[in-house]
Structure 1
Amino acid sequence: MHYNRIQPRGWTSLSHWGEAIAIGTDGFIEMKDLKMTCEVDGQRQTIVSGLSNVGAGRYLIDPWYGGDNQGAITITKTPEGYLKIPVKQGHISHWWSSKRPRIINGRNCRVESTIKASPGVYFSIGGDWWIDQSSGWAGDMVNNVYMGRSSWFDYNGGWQEVVFQ
């Protein structure tokens, strides 16, 4: 679902992100790849490609994102080089671009990832526009504007192509 397709005037950055919750048991997601593209001045461009520069945090699920009180989360790599992110019951595992790219005149962005989840884990991906590359979160819709997100996906026994567009 897209809510803000066009980069706000004067804003210069964006971020992909994902979130996962676990129902019934702790679990994980594995991410095989990641790509973010946007139209810039009428041309589709790759803004992010690959699994480097991904940060993560754990938040309370009730209330949703628990007042933005972030707990530590460790992303590991599988032997194949995929990212593995733990998902704990009662919490949201949230991951994002740890280095936000600079972009001007962006619109109609798309985030694609190949993700595998353990049973009981639900996940989605999306994006935000950011006022610049280094500002921190300062409350809802202050330094970042919600771009939108994909549908929620759940365990299917294998890899899934997940797209936000």
Structure 2
Amino acid sequence: MPNDVLSHLAVHIRQTATTPPTLALDVTNNSPDTSLTILTWESPLDPAALPLGLFAITPDGARQPLDIPTIQIRRVMPPPRDSFVTLKPGETRTQEHVLREEIVPPADLGPNPKVAVRGTWMGVWTIPVEELTPGRLDNMYTDEERLSGPFEAGPFEVTVHEA
């Protein structure tokens, strides 16, 4: 059942700007009848997805992705309410990510790098966020209703224009 539920979460990459290169990651709940509550940490909906290492960026003409410096974030448990998103069937949420020059210099990318996003959902539930009480979230890694599994999107060809 977990893989079946998680398979309803689709991740899509699209470009929203070229200078600086900006990508939107869309997460859509393709379930016909089940709302899904997602912990956004280390997901495509995490504003820190780029420095956390979820992006694989392969320069134009290269065979291997860039070695991008990554960070670790220590987060307070249990996760606060604003760390969750509930998607109704057919609903999409988007998070934009700027390929910031200090992390990925445009000169290193070439005009058309390829970008992929990969990671693991830290927590997905088939219950509304209101039912995720602080006590339950304190023990979320042993919560039998928490689902976890891989996600990925891409590769997607990006257009880069140096400023």
What band does the TM-score fall into relative to the shorter chain? 0.3 to 0.5
Normalised by the length of structure 2, the TM-score is 0.33
Which has the greater radius of gyration? 2
Q: Structure 1-normalised TM-score?
A: 0.32
Structure with more strand by fraction: 1
